[in-house]
Structure 1
């Protein structure tokens, strides 16, 4: 038995190292602000709207999944809905993505889809934004809290993120 265990142990280690578990991330407000501006070239003019939206939709958690009354689910940081914008278990929807891909720490695909939604439907698509962030007085003052003025894009983004 001991010999069998010794021969299987290296194989088990290789299997564990080769498989990458789905990672999730819970951001802090200023950390996400920095990532969105520096890595994804978000327009500083609208960054408070995006941060407020994410705080009220997913509580800054990339792994958040919310079941809705209409049997659909909202996925990830931006709570993208499975009814119109992604498909469960396969690529689909208007963003042509698997919904499950929005529930990991790779937020690039989430951002591309959220940007498309915002361009088509505005921030009002998100109930959290509509309820808590519509009034500009309710938006976080990232200029002061996160030193927004000091942030600038670090590189050319794969895609442009604006309003």
Structure 2
């Protein structure tokens, strides 16, 4: 079985991972947006309070304080959103690995390795699940970790589309 055939065989798994990632990303995004909106609302309220107090001391000083405080709070909100995105990415990665561990893919992976390396390939279990095949100076890594890493850029792109 060629590597495209392995890719085709894994397409239902990819679709399942992508669907789960989309749903999880949507929920995570909404929660992160709510936290970010609350942080921004709080920042605006604090900035407004700072402006009122500073106006009593002078218009120039008030402008500098409000701008600095709002900028600081905006950075805080951005940090919250980025942290939530990273957490979601890692959670999707962990779930994808668990899904693959339960999928029983070794027969499909074995056929893919033999298709890529030939029938004399040495095939061994990979730590964490999956298989690794070697023949002469070539290696085909079908460990579950490598498969997840291969799929995550696509899934991450789909998650990013939901976030933007």
TM-score (norm 1): 0.22
Bigger radius of gyration = 2
Higher helix share: 2
